[in-house]
Amino acid sequence: MADPYLRLDQLEVTFTGGRSPVRAVNGVDLTVDSGETVALIGESGSGKSVTLRAILRLNPEKKTRIAGRITVGGRDVMGLGSKDLAQFRGGEVAMIFQEPLLALDPVYTLGEQITEAIRRHETISKADARARALGLFERVRIPSPERRLDTYPHEMSGGMRQRAMIALALACNPKVLLADEPTTALDATVQIQILLLLRDLQREFGLSIIFVTHDLGAAVEVADRIAVMYAGRIVEEGTARDIINTPRHPYTIGLLKSRAHGAMTKGKRLDAIAGSPPDLANLPPGCAFAARCPWAIDECRRTRPELIRTETGTQARCLRTDQTLTRPGEFVGA
Amino acid sequence: MRQPLLQVRGLKKHFPLERKLFGGAAKTVHAVDGVDFDVLEGETLGVVGESGCGKSTTARLLMHLIDPTAGTITFDGAPVENTRLSLRNYRRRVQMVFQDSYSSLNPRMTIEASIAFGPEVHGVPHKEALARTHDLLERVGLEPTRFAERYPHELSGGQRQRVNIARALALQPKLIILDEAVSALDKSVEAQVLNLLMDLKEEFGLTYVFISHDLNVVQFISDRVMVMYLGRIAELGRAETVFGDARHPYSTALLSSMPSIDPDNRTEHVPLAGDPPNPIDPPPGCRFHTRCAHAETVCSLTEPPLAAVEPGHQAACHMGVAGSGHSRAPEARTATAAE
C-alpha cells in the first residue's frame, strides 16, 4: 500500500500565550490518502480547527508549541523554510474558511485576488492568469463568471462568496484542501449546493480534503472517513458508514443519540450528553470523556485509553467497547 | 379548540434604505410583507426559513421591539399598542430569548441581579424577586449557591442560555419568543437546552414561538410549523403534515436540502439552485417563482394567496388553488373544501 499523502503523527499543539498552557491538540494521528475526504467532527474546543491550522502552520509561532510530525507529499512541514512554506501554502495545501467575507480582501475585486495568487506562485502573464481565474469561476459554477470576476466580495451573496473562495483556494492547483466549517454559516438550500460542489471538485481534481465540521449530516454528505475529536484527541475513527451505523465510542454514540432527528418520537426527551467538555488547561489524567460517560469505571479515570480496532470496523479510544455495541442502523432514521 | 393567544393580521415591516448621494430612487427592504397567523395557547409554533425571509423581523415585531409599518397584533383579545402602559404590561406576559447568549446579558451584573431586575422593575419586592430568581436558577439546572453571584463571562454558552431562559421566565410570561435560541450551542448542549425548554413549557403552561434555521430542531419541538420566504408565509400547518406532506415547492426544496445522515443514501442532486433573492426587490407575483421548478406564467404575474389545502394546512402556491391558471392546479369545480 502506498504511503498516505498527508500524515499527522502524534501532533500536539499547545498555546503558551496565556497564564497556563492550553493543550488544544493532544496527540492526533491522522492519515489522508490522495483523493480521499476525511471529516473531522467535534464540538467547539475539541481541537479540530487547531489541527487544521497546524497543517499550514497558521497558528502564531511565538505563542504556540507544536510537537509531533506533519508530513505532506513526503515533505516534513515543520522543517520548511519561509520560502518553501510560502510555496507550500496554496501551492500544495489550500484552505477555505467559514466566513468568506473575513477571509477575502474587501478592497480588491475577486478577479484581482485570484490573479494575484496565481502570479505569486507562477511566472505567468496577467491576461493568462485572468483567463485561469475565469476558468475557475466556471468550475465552481458561478453564473455570469466574466462579470463576477470584477465584483468585490461584499457585492456577492453568501453562497457565491463561498464559491469564489473555493475558486481562490484551487487557483494554484493544490493537492490538499483544508475546509474549516465552510458551510456552517450558509442557508440550508445553499449548504447542500456547496457540499455537492466540494464532492464534485474532489472527484474532478483528485483532491484530498480534510473537512472540519460539527454537523454529522454535512460530514456524511462529503466524507469517505470520519474522525471524531474530543478534548484534542481523536476518540473514534472509521469509514462514514461504520461511524454512523456501528459507533463504539460513548461520545460518538452520545452525539448520534442527541440529534434532534426526524426519526425521534415527538415530545420525547432527547438523550442529551450530560455535563460539558473539560477545561483544556486542566485535562484529567485518564479518558477526557470519563466525567460525562455513562459507562465510565475507575480505570477510565486513571489511564488514557489507546486507540483499539473494534470488530465492527471503527477504531475507538475507549476501554469499555465491550459494553457499547449498538444495533446497526439504529441512528439512521427516516 | 384552543384559543389563539396571539393574532397577527396584515403585518408588514419595511425598512427604507438611505437615498444615494446623487439621485436614484430610495429603496425599501420588504423584510416582512403582509403575514397573517395565529399562535394558539399552549402550542409551539416553529418558524423556519433562510436568511432574509423575515423570521427574525417577525420576532422583533411580535415583541414590539420595532414598530410595524402596517398590520395589527392582538394578544389575548386586546390589541398591542405602542403606549407605555400597554407595552409594559404586554412585555410582562411576552418574553424573548435571543441567539447570542453573551450580548443579551449585562456584563456588569451578576446573573442573579440580571434575572431579578425584571420583576423588580414590575414592582416585586427585592427579597421576593431574589427568592424567585433562586428558584428559577435551580429550575434551569444552575445551582444558585454556585452560580447566583457569577458574571456572564464566567459561564459557558450553554449555561448563559439557561440564564437567559430563567430571566425570560422571571416575569411569569405566557408566551416566549425563542429567536435561534439554541443555534449557537454545541450539539450535546443543544439537546440539553431543548429538553429543558420542553420541561419548562409543560411545568409553566407556556406557549412558544420557536424560530430557527435548523429544520431538525424545529421538527422536533414544534406542534405547528410556519415556513417563510422573502417576507411572506409560504406554508403553515401541523409539523408532521408540513414535514411529511409539504405542498409548497419551497418547503419541499428546503426539506430535501437537509443533509442525509445515511452514508448509503447521500444527496445526489441539488434540490434548489441559486441563493434567496434580495428582499429589497422581491420578484413580482409568487416570490419563489424565480427558483421554482414548477413555475408557469401565472406565477410571475399574480401572487398566490395563503389558502387552505386541507383543514389546518395552508400553502401559498398556485398549484393548490383551484382555477388559478396553473396547469397543475385542481379543477375549479372540485374545490369545495376551502375553509
Cβ of A192 and B215 within 8 Å? no
Residues 274-303 of B with CB under 8 A from A: 274-276
Q: Which of B194, B259, B274 sits opposite A270 (nearest CB)?
A: B194
pLDDT band at B144 (very low <50, low <70, confident <90, very high): very high
Whole-structure pTM value = 0.88
Whether B334 is in a domain gets the answer: no
Q: How many CA atoms lie within 13 A of B232 on its CB side?
A: 21
Q: Which residue has the higher pLDDT, B325 or A32?
A: A32
| CATH number reported for the structural domain that contains residue B37 in this entry | 3.40.50.300
Query: Would you call B236 exposed, middle or buried from its count of C-beta atoms within 10 A (0-12, 13-18, 19+)?
Result: buried
B189 vs A305: which has the higher pLDDT: A305
B40: containing domain: 4-17+28-260+270-277
- Chain B contacts in chain A segment 132-161 (CB below 8 A): 143, 157-160
Q: Which of A189, A193, A256 to mutate to probe the B interface, most B CBs <10 Å?
A: A189
- In chain A, what are the domain boundaries? 106-173, 230-323
- pLDDT the model gives residue B185: 85
Q: Chain A, 264-283: which have a CB under 8 Å from a chain B CB?
A: 264, 266-267, 269-274, 276-277
Instruction: For B252, name the nearest residue in chain A, comparing CA atoms only.
Output: A189
Beta bridge partners of B175: B94, B207
Q: Does A244 touch chain B (CB under 8 A)?
A: yes
Quote the cell numbers at residue B134: 433562586
Does residue B133 fall inside a structural domain?
yes
Distance from B248 to chain A by nearest Cα, in Å?
15
A301-308 average pLDDT score: 92
Indicate if the pLDDT at residue B139 is higher than 70.
Answer: yes
In tens, the pLDDT along A70-112 reads 999 999 999 999 999 999 999 999 999 988 888 999 999 999 9
On the question of pLDDT at B334 being above 90, the answer is no
Residue of A218, A126, A92, A114 lying closest to A166 (CA atoms): A114
Average pLDDT over residues A20-38: 94
pLDDT at B210: 97
- Residue A188 to residue B266, Cβ atoms within 8 A: no
**Structural domain contains residue B141:** yes
Domain count, chain B: 1
- pLDDT confidence of residue B333: 56
Nearest residue, CB atoms, B194 vs list A160, A220, A260: A260
- Chain A from 61 to 80: CB within 8 A of any B CB: none
Distance CA B258, CA A308 (A): 33
Res. B339 pLDDT band, cuts 50 70 90: very low
Give the model's confidence band at A329: pLDDT under 50 very low, under 70 low, under 90 confident, else very high: low
| pLDDT tens digits, A249-268 | 999 999 988 876 644 556 67
Q: How many A×B Cβ pairs under 8 Å?
A: 134
Q: Are B232 and B287 in contact (CB under 8 A)?
A: yes
Distant-in-sequence, close-in-space partners of B118: CB < 8 Å, separation ≥ 6:
B167, B170, B171
Q: Is residue B246 part of a domain?
A: yes
Residue B311 lies inside a defined structural domain of this protein: no
**% pLDDT > 90, chain A:** 76
ipTM of the predicted structure? 0.85
The average pLDDT across B262-291 equals 89
Q: What is the pLDDT of residue B335?
A: 46
Q: Which helix (H) or strand (E) holds B7?
A: strand B4-16
Asked if B262 has any chain A CB less than 8 Å from its own CB, the reply is yes
| Averaged pLDDT of chain B | 90
Mean pLDDT over A119-123 rounds to 93
pLDDT band at B337 (very low <50, low <70, confident <90, very high): very low
What average pLDDT does range A302-331 have in this prediction? 86
Q: Is the pLDDT of residue A326 over 80?
A: no
Residue B64 lies in a domain: yes
The answer to whether B243 faces chain A, any CB pair under 8 Å, is yes
